[in-house]
Chains A and B, each alone.
Chain A
Amino acid sequence: RKEVEQDPGPFNVPEGATVAFNCTYSNSASQSFFWYRQDCRKEPKLLMSVYSSGNEDGRFTAQLNRASQYISLLIRDSKLSDSATYLCVVNRGSYIPTFGRGTSLIVHP
């Protein structure tokens, strides 16, 4: 089983839709969790950290479920500019990041 698993998609949604991604991780000792966004042929950029209590940043909401070992990302009111690959990142010991393969989102008019 891979350390971090994501559905690669693509998720194809119309503008204004709400879309959710899940990511599961296998190492119960994982310490910190993030969602990154990666545009084609570019480096990943941090979208948001994920906290146990859940956190929201504008249209984006992230949740962590340690018992079930998954994190989620909810995007409300999708914009065309949200089209990208969303990477789930889990830090194992010594803050070494492990990346999921990413979930592709395509928002169309």
Chain B
Amino acid sequence: GAVVSQHPSWVICKSGTSVKIECRSLDFQATTMFWYRQFPKQSLMLMATSNEGSKATYEQGVEKDKFLINHASLTLSTLTVTSAHPEDSSFYICSAPPPLQGDEQFFGPGTRLTVL
């Protein structure tokens, strides 16, 4: 089946630093990828839709200047959390819909971010 990877799987950083998370589709091309955030015991919240070759589409309430998304190729999207603060600590997951397989999503394994 289609595989989506994420790197890193976990990261601990100091407040004020920036953290970059990569999402890769390993065996298919993804013109669209989705980024989510999940707090403990909460649902996945869609943050933004990453579009290859164009600007990302952010959900209401998500700061585009804080969560920078770049979809530079058909297999890679990156999410950069700028000037991270403790309240940004969360589980960040990406997903991509493989082409010609309906509209289900394949998820990356997630990145657990802890900001001290």
Using a CB–CB cutoff of 8 Å, the interface residues on chain A facing chain B are 31-32, 34, 41-46, 49, 87, 89, 91, 95-102
Residue numbers in A under 8 Å from B97 (CB-CB):
95
Once the chains bind, are A100 and B34 in contact (CB under 8 Å)? no
By Cβ-Cβ distance, the 10 closest A-B pairs, closest first, are: A101-B43, A43-B107, A95-B103, A99-B44, A99-B43, A43-B110, A46-B104, A32-B103, A43-B109, A44-B107
Once the chains bind, are A49 and B104 in contact (CB under 8 Å)? yes
Q: Does B93 contact A (CB under 8 A)?
A: yes
Residue numbers in B under 8 Å from A32 (CB-CB):
102-103
Minimal Cβ-Cβ distance residue in A for B42: A101
Minimal Cβ-Cβ distance residue in B for A97: B105
Q: Does B19 contact A (CB under 8 A)?
A: no
Once the chains bind, are A49 and B43 in contact (CB under 8 Å)? no
Give Cα distance in the complex from A41 to B39, angstroms: 11
| Contact of B44 (CB < 8 Å), options: A34, A87, A91, A96 | A87
Using a CB–CB cutoff of 8 Å, the interface residues on chain B facing chain A are 34, 36, 42-46, 49, 91, 93, 95, 97, 102-110, 112
Shortest CB-to-CB span from A21 to chain B, Å, is 14
Residue numbers in B under 8 Å from A43 (CB-CB):
93, 107-110
Interface of A is mostly: strand
Shortest CB-to-CB span from B59 to chain A, Å, is 9
Known A-B contacts A95-B97, A96-B34, A96-B49; A87 and B43 likewise in contact (beta carbons under 8 Å): yes
Interface of B is mostly: strand
Give Cα distance in the complex from A42 to B44, angstroms: 12
Minimal Cβ-Cβ distance residue in B for A6: B43
Once the chains bind, are A41 and B102 in contact (CB under 8 Å)? no
Once the chains bind, are B43 and A100 in contact (CB under 8 Å)? yes
Once the chains bind, are A42 and B110 in contact (CB under 8 Å)? yes
Give Cα distance in the complex from A89 to B45, angstroms: 11
Residue numbers in A under 8 Å from B46 (CB-CB):
96-99
Give Cα distance in the complex from A32 to B104, angstroms: 9
| Contact of A102 (CB < 8 Å), options: B36, B43, B102 | B43
Give Cα distance in the complex from A31 to B102, angstroms: 12
